């Protein structure tokens, strides 16, 4: 307790942490969770390699003034290497950071200032190529923000709280909300001051939807500065990019407009069939790392027997994991995903002519927030015999359920796209990337939603998708899974192994340039093309 009190006092006094760093910490091994040891080990080689390309690149290209921002140590590692590659391509790069180890846990100011000094020391090794700017060290010229940015702080802090607690209903009295609001507000003030003073050509930020990264995205957009956001799916050596948009919203309008009318080649079709065969059978495929099911397929009729389903038509409601980035702010007509599930289940209590199967996402076994099981059980005191709840840990393959499904109901899960690829009519309740592409039903109000349901249920045979709609869904799936991501040398989850296999010198060399240079151009503001 005495130590905490002393740290609290020292953390508020100027120069105390700096003095402690010089006299004590600088001579000790760094053992905190906020750890950049891996980055520190590879920086000398990475910097040297980038230095060998930068002068020629600057002589032959007109580089841009780029501001890269991130928080959390693993993102700092990633963006430092991204920044070196961009500097090696002739750009003037400022790497800005916040030295937090956790987004949801308080930290004493003394420890935060220590982590700030540590990060500055490690990143200082890039000083020949990068300007390193801790956002903690920026002094805002005003504590007030324009109303639009005040609201942005509230919105992002709400998303942060939903994401952290994995709940949808937020009171804004939660300790984590207050923590996120305080940090996001400080980030908004500081980055606004820096961006207004320096006016970079482009801002690059991971994710762009949540945490301080979401705040920096919104401040830059408010100021009219172009922003590129990026994230990673499960495809190695590829990156998702969005310009002046949040990448996790997966805005595919331009891609679809460019190629949605083009039929798939035999090679395209073969690739897509192989990927989905692996997904369905709980396997990984080639460079795709994610295993989408825990249970291998055993056939639709086996699942029908296992769940005690009869021959009445089957409606499959597939849920998302609550708090996933793909569900935040995706409401169309419901206040929350939970409300959509609750009202849908209640509606089906009156439809004994069909069987409703609620497949709760298997990913819930890894989460701690509100389960959709709880939502269903709260909506109905007792499940009618024609409504079946498949819990996240049950050994049931979702694709086996799709084999016997007559109608699909989804919020934003990709299962909706995959059911459409089987010719199953699908009603989409949330704002997902494949909505309004011509192969799903996309109601915009509760009245429209229930009317759509009853119309489809009235003649399920006629509701099956046409061949043209099925082909549309396959085209869209190919574009999303194989064209939306762009080639890039390093994946966040495999960064250290990727940098060994494809070091900065390779990325900036002839073959790396051929593979990845266009993606780097997109990162720095060249309009995305498909």
Structural domain spans, the chain: 34-253+489-523, 265-477
Reduced to 3 states, what is the DSSP secondary structure of residue 242? strand
Instruction: Give the pLDDT band (50/70/90) at residue 423.
Output: very high
Q: How far apart are CA 12 and CA 4, in angstroms?
A: 13
Average pLDDT over the chain reads 91
Q: Which residues contact 2 (CB under 8 A, 6 or more apart)?
A: none
| Sequence-ordered strand ranges (E) for 395-455 | 407-410, 426-428
How would residue 296 be classed by pLDDT, with cut points 50, 70 and 90?
low
Distance CA 324, CA 348 (A): 26
pLDDT of res. 10: 62
- What pLDDT is stored for residue 257 in this prediction? 96
The answer to whether residue 161 scores a pLDDT higher than 60 is yes
pLDDT of 211 reads 97
Question: Has residue 496 got a pLDDT over 80?
Answer: yes
Reported pTM: 0.90
Name the CATH topology of 34-253+489-523.
Rossmann fold (3.40.50)
pLDDT digits (tens, 9 = 90+) for 501-529: 999 999 999 999 999 999 999 999 999 99
Average pLDDT over residues 295-316: 87
Residue with tokens 């952290």: 164
Q: Which of 316, 305, 303 is nearest to 360 (CA)?
A: 316
Of the candidates 487, 524, 430, 8, which has an alpha carbon nearest to the alpha carbon of residue 226?
Answer: 524
Share of the chain above pLDDT 70, in %: 91
Least confident of 202-206, 252-256, 371-375: 371-375
Tokens 């994230």 map to which residue? 231
CA distances from 214 to 81, 259, 365 (A): 21, 30, 27
Beta strand segments in 237-374, E: 238-243, 314-318, 355-359
**Pairwise pLDDT comparison (293 vs 300), residue with the higher score:** 300
Q: Is pLDDT at 253 greater than 50 in this prediction? A: yes
Q: What distance in Å separates the CA atoms of residue 60 and residue 273, rounded to the nearest whole number?
A: 44
- State how far the Cα of 101 lies from the Cα of 27, in Å rounded to an integer: 22
Give me the mean pLDDT over the 219-228 stretch: 98
Average pLDDT over residues 55-73: 94
What is the average pLDDT across 331-345?
94
**pLDDT given at position 277:** 81
Alpha helix locations (H) across 61-174? 73-88, 109-123, 147-165
Q: How confident is the model at residue 7 (pLDDT cuts 50, 70, 90)?
A: low
Confidence (pLDDT) at 298: 75
What is the per-residue pLDDT for 285? 41
pLDDT tops 50 at residue 371: yes
Q: Which comes out higher in pLDDT, residue 457 or 367?
A: 457
pLDDT at site 308: 93
Do the two domains 34-253+489-523 and 265-477 of this chain adopt the same fold?
A: yes
Superfamily name with CATH number, domain 265-477: Glycogen Phosphorylase B; (3.40.50.2000)
The residue with greater pLDDT, 60 or 459, is: 459
pLDDT in tens, 65-104: 999 999 999 999 999 999 999 999 999 999 999 999 999 9
**Closest among 168, 159, 328 to 249, alpha carbons compared:** 328
In this predicted structure, which of 124-138, 262-276, 317-331 has the lowest mean pLDDT? 317-331
What is the rounded distance in angstroms from the CA atom of residue 81 to the CA atom of residue 26?
Answer: 24
Tell me the pLDDT band of 372, cut-offs 50, 70 and 90: confident
């Amino acid at each position: 307790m005495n130590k905490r009190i002393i740290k609290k006092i020292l953390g508020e006094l100027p120069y105390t942490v700096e003095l402690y760093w010089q006299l004590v910490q600088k001579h000790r091994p760094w053992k905190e969770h906020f750890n950049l040891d891996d980055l520190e080990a590879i920086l000398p080689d990475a910097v040297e390699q980038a230095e060998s390309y930068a002068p020629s690149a600057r002589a032959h290209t007109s580089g841009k003034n780029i501001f890269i921002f991130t928080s959390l140590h693993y993102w700092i590692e990633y963006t430092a290497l991204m920044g070196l590659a961009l500097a090696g391509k002739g750009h003037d790069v400022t790497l800005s950071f916040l030295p937090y180890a956790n987004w949801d846990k308080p930290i004493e100011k003394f420890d935060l200032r220590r982590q700030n000094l540590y990060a500055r020391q490690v990143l200082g090794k890039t000083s020949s190529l990068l300007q390193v700017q801790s956002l903690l060290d920026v002094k805002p010229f005003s504590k007030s923000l324009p109303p639009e940015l005040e609201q942005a702080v509230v919105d992002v802090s709400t998303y942060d709280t939903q994401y952290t607690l994995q709940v949808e209903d937020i009171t804004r009295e939660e300790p984590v909300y207050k923590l996120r609001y305080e940090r996001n507000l400080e980030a908004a003030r500081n980055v606004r001051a820096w961006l207004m003073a320096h006016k970079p050509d482009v801002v690059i930020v991971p994710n762009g939807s949540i945490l301080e990264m979401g705040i920096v995205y919104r401040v830059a957009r408010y100021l009219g500065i172009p922003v590129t956001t990026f994230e990673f799916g499960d495809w190695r050596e590829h990156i998702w990019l969005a310009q002046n948009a949040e990448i996790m919203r997966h805005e595919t309008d331009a891609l679809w407009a460019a190629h949605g009318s083009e039929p798939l080649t035999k090679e395209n079709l073969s690739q897509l069939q192989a990927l989905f065969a692996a997904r369905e059978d709980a396997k990984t495929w080639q460079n795709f790392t994610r295993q989408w099911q825990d249970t291998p397929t055993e056939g639709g009729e086996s699942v029908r027997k296992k769940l005690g389903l009869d021959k009445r038509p089957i409606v499959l409601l597939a849920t998302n994991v609550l708090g996933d980035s793909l569900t935040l702010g995706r409401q169309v007509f419901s206040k929350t995903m939970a409300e959509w599930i609750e009202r849908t289940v209640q509606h089906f209590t009156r439809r004994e002519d069909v069987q409703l199967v609620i497949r709760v996402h298997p990913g819930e076994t890894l989460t701690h927030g509100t389960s959709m099981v709880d939502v269903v059980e709260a909506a109905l005191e007792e499940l009618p015999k024609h409504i079946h709840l498949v819990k996240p840990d049950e050994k049931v393959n979702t694709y086996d359920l799709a084999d016997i499904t007559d109608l699909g109901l989804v919020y934003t899960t990709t299962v909706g796209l995959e059911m459409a690829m089987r010719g199953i009519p699908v009603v989409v309740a949330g704002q997902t990337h494949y909505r309004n592409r011509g192969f799903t039903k996309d109601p915009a109000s509760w009245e429209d939603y229930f009317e759509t349901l009853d119309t489809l249920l009235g003649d399920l045979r006629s509701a099956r998708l046409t061949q043209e709609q099925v082909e549309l869904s396959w085209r869209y799936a190919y574009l999303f899974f194989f064209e939306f991501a762009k080639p890039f040398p390093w994946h966040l989850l495999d960064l250290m192994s990727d940098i060994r296999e494809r070091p900065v010198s390779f990325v900036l060399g002839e073959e790396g340039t051929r593979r990845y240079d266009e993606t780097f151009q997109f990162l720095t503001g060249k309009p995305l093309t498909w």
